[in-house]
Amino acid sequence: MKKVLGIVLVCLIVAVGLLAVKVFRMKRVGDSPKFSTTYQAVLLDDGQVYYGKLSRTGSHYPEMTSVYYVVRTVDPTTKQAKNILVKRGKEWHAPNETFFNSRHIIMIEPVSPSSEVARLIAQAETQGQK
């Protein structure tokens, strides 16, 4: 009887320990990632990627300012495809910030300062697309 009681006690202690670890991990899920770069790339579950300055990453609705996205165009005469970086805000409603529903964010990555995207954003910012 004592042996069975000891086994039950050990199982109970292990279960409580596992539950404590799970609760601790769930609490950490809300932690905000820290980025050392000025710009971040956000991939949404519809395949769209946005580039900009991301904040409030631990919230349900992270905010992005200085938002850019890529539009693919095809030259009708040469049939060559070309990617163009477009700044949000040129739309009819002229948004100056974008809020994402965090449930639709697949991935967030830093944009390297030496990347082509960072170079194009810097070029757009200096040309007055602010």
What residues does each domain of the chain span?
1-31, 40-126
DSSP state of 90: -
Predicted local distance difference test score (pLDDT) of residue 17: 66
Q: What is the mean pLDDT of residues 67-94?
A: 87
Task: Extract the tokens encoding 114.
Answer: 């030496």
Fold of 40-126: SH3 type barrels. (2.30.30)
Bridge partners of 67, per DSSP, are: none
pLDDT at 40: 96
Tell me what pLDDT residue 3 has. Answer: 73
Residue 118, pLDDT score? 93
Question: Quick check: pTM over 0.75?
Answer: no
Q: Any alpha helices (H) in the chain, and if so which ranges?
A: 2-29, 116-126
pLDDT by residue (tens digit) across 15-64? 666 666 665 555 455 567 888 999 999 999 999 999 999 999 989 999 99
C-alpha distances out from residue 88 to 5, 33, 47, 55, 118, Å? 66, 24, 17, 17, 16
pLDDT at 34 (0 to 100): 85
Between CA 42 and CA 98 the distance in angstroms is 11
Provide φ and ψ at 101, rounded to 5°. Answer: -75, 120
pLDDT band at 113 (very low <50, low <70, confident <90, very high): very high
Q: Does residue 111 have a pLDDT over 90? A: yes
